[in-house]
Amino acid sequence: MMKEPFIHTKDLCYSYSDENGLQQPVLRGITLDIAKGEYVAILGHNGSGKSTLAKLFNMILEPDSGELFVAGQDLTSPTLTEDDFYALRRQVGMVFQNPDNQLVATIVEDDVAFGPENLGVPSAEIRARVDAALATVGMTSYARHEPHRLSGGQKQRVAIAGILAMEPNCIILDEATAMLDPSGRKEVIETVEALNREKGITVLSITHYMNEAARADRVIVIDDGVVIMDGTPREVFADPARLLAAGLDVPQCTSLVHALRAEGVALEGDPVTVEECADLICRALEVI
Amino acid sequence: MAVLTLEHVSYIYGEGTPFEIRALDDVSLSVREGTVTGIIGHTGSGKSTMVQLFNGLEKPTAGRVLLDGKDIWAEPKKMRDIRFRVGLVMQYPEYQLFEETIRADIAFGPRNMGLTEEEISRRTKEAAAFVGLEEALLDRSPFELSGGQKRRAAIAGIMAMRPEILVLDEPAAGLDPRGRDAILEGIRAYGKETGSTVIIVSHSMEDMAAYCDDIVVMAQAKVCLSGTRDEVFANAKRLTDVGLDVPQITHLMMKLRARGVAVPEGIYTVEAASAALRKLFGKGHTV
């Protein structure tokens, strides 16, 4: 049993009302616990409810029913004040998909300072936080650059620095790498992984890239508003048929091992990365 | 036969200013008629500039763009016709829908071509079918559709003009695996059934490996590698040298070869990898 989950939900439900005023359920009873410091990937096809779930976690949306605790705070409590919302959003930062519409200032360091300024942090402290945040994401030399001249990966790293300057406990990436090229995607993923490893920040990464999900500690699969799979990448990718049925995919290495096994080749284990797969095949072929 | 050719094409942004950037540097290439051709490269490698040259949105600083052997800039007044023949779907085209219904949006292009109402209606239905949009959705407002459905509607709007060459800049970006496959299948079906040539710009080597006949690899404003899919993936090392991704399965095969496993070069699908490895596993390894 995990102690003190950072996020706890039980039977969490949410519906949108459509243009005819009818309630369209998006989340139909989500129950999960996410521990402090975990690195979790959330998978699901478009419309599965995964982004809605993320928006509940930092109170962009309010749940219809069910339990929702984030950082020890009961988000369904009727006594919750506006100050509580702000305190929560400071702790749970979100990075969105489009790198072009989340930067607000005309130079990079002003953008990073925007969050702490709004929190009323003293200016000397803001200076220190901005410098530290830019250093963490490797953007110090761009502090006085104009955001619109940066690459997509650099813009997302600035957005992450803006969150770091608020000293969060958790970062949620809502398909934050979807609009980036492979090198931009790598920059962002490596930045976030380092934050998780070195600063213990809880990371929830909503993604369509199976190879990205394979790098997380834990993968949660959402389909039609419920959690259908929850485990380590190895456990989740061990069932390709179920993932395909949910409109998803498995890494090519995992497909290969399944294909070989189906042809009668004895291979033990379910590799999810290239390295693991190469090791497995070399061991089986006795070429070490 | 080459349907579209670039002859020593260069394109310079901001020529003569301190911000001068050479986006394309003496590029020559030809696209074979009836193929699905992929263009891949880093951000800034010149891909998007290149597609804008294909239908005359940009004019080369030097060199010529030939469509069926004719310079598209020979008679600039006829550029409108060129744009009907070479249809360009830009990145994130779902932000460009503007009509009240999906049907009207798809019909916008064919109507501008001066076709009859009957023909417009036929083409609208046909294009919607290619991208897998159901008839029932066509009378809805774009606001009522999901992102993936809007993307399909925008692509159908170009298909409805029935261009001889359909050019798409990152058509599958940001979609989930099922949505990505549906769109790419639809695009391939358009090429096959109408005999048109399709050009896809993408960052995803795995999509290129699955859907393209020919591949052009761009690096630093030049073509660094081009040929059939087999030819390009036979040079997988060169792709990784310029910092491009190769499909995960190709990456695995390269690793295995480096460790002394005798798998051939040029493997880019799970099926081919499985077949190659199956041969290596002798009877002792099977159950």
Q: Within an 8 Å CB–CB cutoff, is residue B76 touching chain A?
A: no
Domain spans, chain B: 2-235, 247-287
Cα end-to-end span (Å), chain B:
50
- Structure-token pair, residue B24: 């394309």
Of residues B203 and B200, more confidence is placed in B200
- Asked if residue B56 lies in contact with residue B71, where contact means CB atoms within 8 angstroms, the answer is no
Across the beta sheet with B36-41, the strand order is B86-89, B165-169, B197-202, B36-41, B214-219, B222-228
| Residue A3 confidence (pLDDT) above 80 | no
Query: B277: which chain A residues are within 8 Å (Cβ-Cβ)?
Result: 256, 260, 265, 281
Q: Round to whole Å and give the CA distance between B30 and B48.
A: 17
Say which residues have a Cβ less than 8 Å from residue B60's Cβ, sequence separation at least 6: B6, B9, B10, B11, B24, B53, B73
Q: Round to whole Å and give the CA distance between A154 and B250.
A: 28
- List Cβ<8 Å contacts ≥24 apart for B115-122: B120/B160
Q: Round to whole Å and give the CA distance between B66 and B48.
A: 18
* DSSP designation for A265: B
Q: Of B257, B173, B238, which is closest to residue A274 (Cα–Cα)?
A: B257
Nearest CA in chain B to A274: B252
| Residue A193 confidence (pLDDT) above 60 | yes
pLDDT of B187 reads: 96
Choice among A17-26, A167-176, B226-235, B272-281 with the minimum mean pLDDT:
A17-26
For residue A122, the tally of other CB atoms under 10 A from its CB is 9
Specify the pairing of strand B165-169 against strand B86-89: parallel
Report the mean per-residue pLDDT for chain B.
92
How confident is the model over B60-88, as pLDDT tens digits?
999 999 999 999 999 999 999 999 999 99
Report the mean per-residue pLDDT for chain A.
91
Burial of B156: CB neighbours in 10 Å, binned 0-12, 13-18, 19+: buried
Q: Within an 8 Å CB–CB cutoff, is residue B176 touching chain A?
A: yes
| Residue A2 confidence (pLDDT) above 60 | no
Substitution target from A274, A276, A280, A283 for chain B, most B beta carbons within 10 A = A274
- Asked if residue B29 lies in contact with residue B224, where contact means CB atoms within 8 angstroms, the answer is no
How confident is the model over A261-282, as pLDDT tens digits?
988 888 888 888 899 999 999 9
Query: B173: which chain A residues are within 8 Å (Cβ-Cβ)?
Result: 178-179
pTM above 0.95, yes or no: no
**Among residues 191-230 of chain B, which lie with CB inside 8 Å of chain A?**
203, 206
| Residue B285 confidence (pLDDT) above 80 | no
**Among residues 154-193 of chain A, which lie with CB inside 8 Å of chain B?**
175, 178-179, 181-184
Q: Within an 8 Å CB–CB cutoff, is residue B274 touching chain A?
A: yes
* DSSP designation for A133: H
Confidence at B123, pLDDT banded by 50, 70, 90:
very high
Confidence at A146, pLDDT banded by 50, 70, 90:
very high
Average pLDDT over residues A187-209: 93
Specify the pairing of strand A73-74 against strand B222-228: unpaired
pLDDT of A266 reads: 85
Cα dihedral value A35, A40, A46, A51, nearest 10: 40
Q: Of A55, A49, A23, A16, which is closest to residue A226 (Cα–Cα)?
A: A49
Which residue shows structure tokens 């830009």?
A: B90
How confident is the model over A29-86, as pLDDT tens digits?
999 999 999 999 999 988 889 989 999 998 899 999 999 999 989 999 989 888 888 8
| Residue A13 confidence (pLDDT) above 60 | yes
Q: Round to whole Å and give the CA distance between A278 and B109.
A: 51
How confident is the model over B2-38, as pLDDT tens digits?
999 999 999 999 888 888 889 999 999 999 999 999 9
- Asked if residue B183 lies in contact with residue B151, where contact means CB atoms within 8 angstroms, the answer is yes
Phi, psi of B121 (to 5 degrees): -65, -40
- Share of residues in chain B with pLDDT > 90 (%): 73
Domains annotated on chain A, with CATH = 36-60+80-231 (3.40.50.300)
Find the length of chain B: 287
Question: Are the Cβ atoms of A247 and B176 closer than 8 angstroms?
Answer: yes
pLDDT of B286 reads: 45
Topology adopted by domain B2-235: Rossmann fold (3.40.50)
Average pLDDT over residues A97-122: 91
ipTM associated with this complex: 0.79
How confident is the model over A118-136, as pLDDT tens digits?
888 999 999 999 999 999 9
Query: B248: which chain A residues are within 8 Å (Cβ-Cβ)?
Result: 211, 251-253, 274
Confidence at A21, pLDDT banded by 50, 70, 90:
confident
Q: Round to whole Å and give the CA distance between B63 and B215.
A: 22
Q: Of B53, B65, B55, B66, which is closest to residue B23 (Cα–Cα)?
A: B53
| Residue B189 confidence (pLDDT) above 90 | yes
Q: Within an 8 Å CB–CB cutoff, is residue A21 touching chain B?
A: no
| Residue B282 confidence (pLDDT) above 80 | no
Q: Within an 8 Å CB–CB cutoff, is residue A22 touching chain B?
A: no
- Asked if residue B82 lies in contact with residue B31, where contact means CB atoms within 8 angstroms, the answer is no
Element holding B193 (H helix, E strand)? helix B177-194
- Share of residues in chain A with pLDDT > 70 (%): 98
